[in-house]
Amino acid sequence: MIPPGGFLILSLILFVFGVIAFFVKKDFLTMFMAVEIMLNAANLAFLALSKWRGFPLDGQVIVFFIMTVAAAEAVVGLAIIRLVYRRRKTVRAGDWHRLKG
Amino acid sequence: MAIFLFVVLSFFTVASVTAMIVSRNQAHNALLLVFAFSCLGGVFGLLDAPFVAVAQIIVYAGAIMVLFLFAIMMFGSGANSPLEKMPAVVAAAVVLSVILLIELSAAFRAVLRPPGSFTGAASDPAELGDLLFTKYLYPFELTSALIIAGLVGAVVLGKKKGEE
Amino acid sequence: MTDFFWLIPVLPAVSSFILMVAGRRLPKKYISAQACLAVLVSFIISLLGWLRMAGADARTVPWIKPLFSWIAAGSFQARFALQWDPLAGLMALVVTGVGFLIHVYSAGYMSGDKSYARYFALLNLFTFAMLLLVMASNIVLMFVGWEGVGLCSYLLIGFWFEKPEAAAAGKKAFLYNRVGDTGFLAGILFLWAAAGSAEFLEIDASLASGRVSPALITLIGLLLFVGAMGKSAQIPLYVWLPDAMEGPTPVSALIHAATMVTAGVYMVARMNVVYRLSDTASSVVAVVGAVTALFAATIALVQNDIKRVLAYSTISQIGYMFIGCGVGAYAAGMFHLFTHSFFKSLLFLGAGSVMHALGGETDMRKMGGLRFYLPRTYPVFLIGSLAIAGIPFFSGFFSKDAILTQAFLRGGLFVWILGILTAVMTAFYMFRLVFLTFFGEERFEPGHRGRIHEPPPVMTFPLAVLALFSTVSGFLWIPEVVGGRAPWFSRYLGSVIPPGTESHPRALTEWALIIVSVAAALTGIFMAFYLYRRRPALPHQMVRRWPRAYRVLVNKFYVDEVYRSLVINPVVRASERLHEVFDLGVIDGAVNGSARGAGLLGKALNLLQTGYVKDYALAFFLGAVLILGYFLLF
């Protein structure tokens, strides 16, 4: 009933918004949230496409894994951001360029 | 009925993401995303993936975003989360995003061309569990190892200086 | 014995290897003992092999012992195989026999030298290479030996390499040899193309069958002879030999008198099938030999360095050997090679004794009256001189006479006349040497007088043995008129050099020729006697009378200077230009340029490393978009 294209359009829009959010925000924490948006958009795309192709379960398995890994990634990433914050008391992306080549 | 639900849910999802972009308050951003992910969970449900839908709400909206909220609590900058002002970066991002949108649409044109319909049958969470322990056993085990690694890494990173 | 003659080259090789590896830690007595023993055993095996072969059925000869297959590239095969036949056996006996005596002599002569082990290692190595050269069954392996002796010559001439003259002389020898080798190699290639094989037996059969065009055979003969010109120091590639006297005197005796320089003659004799089929090539060989003989003799007339006289004498005598081969009397040429190895090495070693007595002095103007101080050296040296001058009953007389007789009968008058003139000069300059060195007033450097003494027995014993052979070896070829049967020597070589290449003169002709050559020798001796004993002031007056002629002779006709300006300098200049343009400009430019390019690229890429996370993210994004676009479009 719901056309699969609909889900996909939603996924694309969410992904692009996630990208824009990443570049528009200035602090690391919010930028990280934008990454999560992108991951979710990808999840949606996986589900829709796998169901469209006829093997819905595999898509769900993949989404399952992505969620798990995203959780672990969020943990470690937040720990790192916390350290970064501890160093300089600022979490703005613009203040961090010590690795200039 | 389903279409109506879908439209509503997707509208709310997109709206809250847009609000998140616009808002300058970190806590607001996080809460908006909680809402967005929950709606997305609903969308997952519409895709006949009950387990994933519930997992989305529990894990993403309920755990990950809560984690973010804790982080904001500890060292967030509160209402002071400005937007990027440098035009070059924003412009480049927007331009590239548009291009990406076009490309992805082209990539998925087979799916997007109406009228399409799903060919898959409804799925059973029990079957999902089956798959996890047979065909995808290896990634499953690896992922658990990955989580442990992440756990240990977070603990290590969280130590204060001087502690052993 | 068919199975053991391969040991002949191997023993000196093994000894050389041992000395190279462990020589420095071994005591001197042991080093010389091992080196000499290796050569002695090789000599004994050669002797046994020779006796065996003499008693064996002539049809089985030559015996060939393949050791391993070496080159197999398509249709070109070259085995590492040794051959034992009369010619190879003769050369092997000469190399090991004379070589052994010189090894013994060296043990005494070089006893004070700090590189004792290196010397004997090189001497053994040379012996190995020379034996390889003469015992090879195919021309490619022979070339290996050919190159090997050239290398050892370079190493031994430049033995005292701290002396710049010695190092330069070694280089010179090697380079001039190399020029000859280029021709030789070309000759080998053409030979293989013509005959289809590199093995001597197969070449002989193939060329004799007449299927090869005469022009090609002539070309092969000429190219191979170019190699001989270099190795055997004939015109125009002889200039390295006088300079080679910078090396130790035993080296001069072994390499530059008895063995290496005779390799060219051996080669021509071995390849006699080529030269018999090509009159042009044979004539070239004979003429070059004759002209060289005369030319070198004229230079020897006025040299003051005792070794230089002997060096030019060697060049001249080898010219004789080529005369013999060039007119088709290969056996006569080989016979002169045989006798010459005895008396020339005797003369060199004797000169070594003189130098040893006078503390290394080689200038004859600073010698004189030595016959009282060196009562053992003088007689043997005299014997050698008589032999080379061609006085009857000494070996040189028989061999020179054999060559000149054959030349007269077969090669034509021109060559014979040059030969006779050379004989006069040979006798003259040799006895000039004898009179200046052993007779007359003593003109020593101060400080030498009290210390002149004979060398130790280890050095005088080889001299005695060589003197003996210089006397008796001639009797292997007694001219027919005097009672000898058909020359044994040429019959001996009959399986290699087909019989019928010797002409048999009428008795009257033969007697006349003998008388003429003896007369020539006596004339030379008498002139030397007159000029250096009777009227010693006369040579100086002659120099004053014809100063320019004298200067030309003393300066060796300025040949070295001509070569330098015509060939060497242009080549050096061209190579310097090439170095600037190509080596420095192109190659260094490419290498340095690529380094600079890498650096520039790095600096360019550096601009991307801003340190800002967003910039990196943008780069990711751009990359992803591009890749996706690529896959969509293609």
Q: What single-letter amino acid sits at C373?
A: Y
d(CA B60, CA B44): 13
Taking a C-beta distance cutoff of 8 angstroms, is the pair A44, B40 a contact?
yes
Chain B interface disruption, residue of A28, A58, A78, most B CBs within 10 A: A78
Of the listed ranges A17-26, B7-16, B125-134, C505-514, the least confidently predicted one is C505-514
pLDDT tens per residue across span B108-129: 887 777 666 776 667 788 888 8
Is B110 in CB contact (< 8 Å) with chain C?
no
C621/B96 CB distance under 8 A: yes
Residue A54: pLDDT band by 50, 70, 90 thresholds? confident
For residue C632, give the nearest of B84, B93, B103 by CB distance: B103
Q: How far is A95 from chain C (nearest CA, A)?
A: 8
Q: Say whether B86 sits in a helix, a strand or coil.
A: coil
The kind and range of the H/E element at C328 are none
Q: Is the pLDDT of residue B85 over 80?
A: no
**Average pLDDT in the C148-175 region?**
92
Token reading at C296: 């070198």
> For A101, which residue in chain C has the nearest alpha carbon?
C609
d(CA C263, CA C267): 6
What pTM was computed for the model?
0.70
Q: Is the pLDDT of residue C426 over 60?
A: yes
Taking a C-beta distance cutoff of 8 angstroms, is the pair C221, C270 a contact?
no
Residue C60: pLDDT band by 50, 70, 90 thresholds? low
pLDDT tens per residue across span C193-207: 888 888 888 888 888
pLDDT value of residue C551: 82
**Average pLDDT in the C241-255 region?**
90
pLDDT value of residue B162: 60
pLDDT tens per residue across span C70-110: 777 777 777 888 888 888 888 999 999 999 999 999 998 88
pLDDT value of residue B118: 74
A&B contacts, CB < 8 Å? 228
Residue B106: pLDDT band by 50, 70, 90 thresholds? confident
B120/A52 CB distance under 8 A: yes
Of the listed ranges B28-32, C43-47, C481-485, C582-586, the least confidently predicted one is C481-485
For B11, phi and psi rounded to 5 degrees?
-60, -45
A94 contacts on C by Cβ (under 8 Å)? 612
Instruction: Identify the CA nearest to C264 among candidates C192, C215, C324, C345.
Output: C324
Is B106 in CB contact (< 8 Å) with chain C?
yes
**Average pLDDT in the A14-22 region?**
93
Taking a C-beta distance cutoff of 8 angstroms, is the pair A44, A14 a contact?
yes
C611/A98 CB distance under 8 A: yes
Is C627 in CB contact (< 8 Å) with chain B?
no
Is B84 in CB contact (< 8 Å) with chain C?
yes
Q: How far is C591 from chain B (nearest CA, A)?
A: 40
Name the CA dihedral angle for B11, B14, B17, B23, rounded to a multiple of 10 degrees.
-70
**Which of the other chains make 3 or more beta carbon contacts under 8 angstroms with chain B?**
A, C
Residue B139: pLDDT band by 50, 70, 90 thresholds? very high
Q: Is the pLDDT of residue C469 over 70?
A: yes
A19/C621 CB distance under 8 A: yes
**Which of the other chains make 3 or more beta carbon contacts under 8 angstroms with chain A?**
B, C
Is C567 in CB contact (< 8 Å) with chain A?
no
**Average pLDDT in the C365-379 region?**
85
C610/A100 CB distance under 8 A: yes
pLDDT value of residue A101: 60
**Average pLDDT in the C392-418 region?**
86
Of the listed ranges C79-88, C262-271, C282-291, C471-480, the least confidently predicted one is C471-480
A99/C611 CB distance under 8 A: yes
B147/A68 CB distance under 8 A: yes
For residue B92, give the nearest of C618, C624, C632 by CB distance: C618
pLDDT value of residue C502: 57
ipTM of the complex: 0.88
A94/C612 CB distance under 8 A: yes
| Rounded percentage of chain C residues whose pLDDT exceeds 70 | 93
Please give the C-alpha separations between residue B36 and each of A34, B19, B32, B43, C102, in angstroms, as whole numbers.
Answer: 12, 10, 6, 11, 106
> For B94, which residue in chain C has the nearest alpha carbon?
C618
Residue that has been written with the tokens 């060096």 in this structure: C311
B&C contacts, CB < 8 Å? 25
Please give the C-alpha separations between residue C31 and each of A53, C18, C34, C110, C459, in angstroms, as whole numbers.
Answer: 90, 10, 5, 12, 17
Chain A interface disruption, residue of B4, B47, B77, B136, most A CBs within 10 A: B47
pLDDT tens per residue across span C473-531: 777 776 655 555 555 666 667 666 665 555 666 777 778 888 888 898 999 988 888 88
Tell me: cis bond preceding C164? Omega within 30 of 0 counts.
no
> For C615, which residue in chain A has the nearest alpha carbon?
A23
Q: Is the pLDDT of residue C568 over 90?
A: no
Taking a C-beta distance cutoff of 8 angstroms, is the pair C455, C353 a contact?
yes
pLDDT value of residue C53: 79
pLDDT value of residue C360: 81
Average pLDDT, chain A: 87
The CA-to-CA distance between both ends of chain A, in Å, stands at 54
Q: Exposed (0-12), middle (13-18) or buried (19+): which is B41, by Cβ within 10 Å?
A: buried
Average pLDDT, chain C: 86
For residue C613, give the nearest of A19, A93, A101 by CB distance: A93
**Average pLDDT in the C559-582 region?**
87
